[in-house]
Homo-oligomer: A and B are copies of this chain.
Amino acid sequence: MKPVVVRDIPRADPAIIEMLASYGVATVHEAQGRSGLMKTYMRPAWPGAQIGGSAVTVLAQPGDNWMLHVAIEQCRPGDIMVVGVTTDNTDGMFGDLMATSMKARGAAGLVIDAGCRDVKDLQRMGFPVWSRAISAKGTVKATLGSVNIPVVCAGVAVAPGDVVVADDDGVVVVPSKDAARVAEAAKQRVANEEEKRARLAAGELGLDIYKMREPLEKLGLIYVDSIDDLDK
């Protein structure tokens, strides 16, 4: 793999990205058929943020944040930097100085399969980060990586320009070519859930709303009054 920076990447329609961000991770993940979800160790550095954006991808060496500096230049307003590393690592590759720089460029946030630090500053600045660890471990600037090539981040293959949605539930990635379709499916899902929510709140059971009783019975689920009835 030659170290390379790709300058021009496709980006999804901002209106679509905004729609996806507004629906949140769980809905978008379901709407695209339960795929694209990063591993559960990816947690927000501070709670409450909910964002969407186009992925500017980075492949970095463990403990080396040189390529993040390179990648910041490639970020446009609304972009989310997505960092994969070549091996499991939790070092604090990102802190308040880099966040200042990304914010100055209008970037929306960072998703990194490693550590971040200065979490109090990040929260104060309102710059959202999802990472596998909080770590003050400083990093070197010694080895090249690449920017805007396909990477794997927290178990998900991410291409430059894919739509990333992140909130307190985690991080999900939508291929850019699917973004419009998934946004539409998410919209319908939300509409559909509204009605379900009202019925459930009124005391109806999912068993009845989703018509589960018959298939459960067919598969052999039995009801007994007492566990002792089971052995009879």
When distances are taken between beta carbons in the complex, the residues of chain B under 8 Å from A1 are 32-33, 35
**Smallest beta-carbon distance A228→chain B, Å:** 9
A26 touches B117 (CB 8 A): yes
- Known contacts A40-B90, A104-B200; A142 and B142 CB within 8 A of each other: yes
Chain A, range 37-93, C-beta contacts under 8 Å to B: 37, 39-40, 43, 48, 50, 61-63, 66, 69-70, 72-73, 86-92
**Smallest beta-carbon distance A90→chain B, Å:** 5
B6 touches A227 (CB 8 A): yes
A7 touches B224 (CB 8 A): yes
A170 touches B72 (CB 8 A): no
Contacting residue for A135 out of B7, B134, B169, B223, CB 8 A: B169
Chain A, range 1-52, C-beta contacts under 8 Å to B: 1-8, 25-26, 29-30, 32-35, 37, 39-40, 43, 48, 50
A196 at the interface (CB under 8 A from B): yes
- Known contacts A26-B118, A92-B26, A203-B104; A157 and B155 CB within 8 A of each other: no
Cβ contacts A129-143/B at 8 Å (1 or 0 each): 000011111101111
Contacting residue for A63 out of B61, B221, B224, CB 8 A: B61
A137 touches B205 (CB 8 A): no
A144 at the interface (CB under 8 A from B): yes
Q: How many chain copies?
A: 6
Chain A: residues with Cβ within 8 Å of the partner, total of 98
* Given A88-B88, A104-B200: 13 more A-B contacts, CB < 8 Å: A2-B222, A3-B221, A4-B230, A7-B225, A34-B138, A40-B137, A61-B140, A73-B205, A87-B89, A96-B197, A100-B200, A104-B201, A149-B227
18 A/B residue pairs, CB under 8 Å, sorted by A:
A5-B222, A5-B223, A6-B227, A30-B138, A35-B86, A40-B90, A40-B115, A40-B135, A63-B89, A69-B205, A87-B91, A88-B88, A89-B89, A104-B201, A118-B169, A136-B169, A140-B142, A144-B216
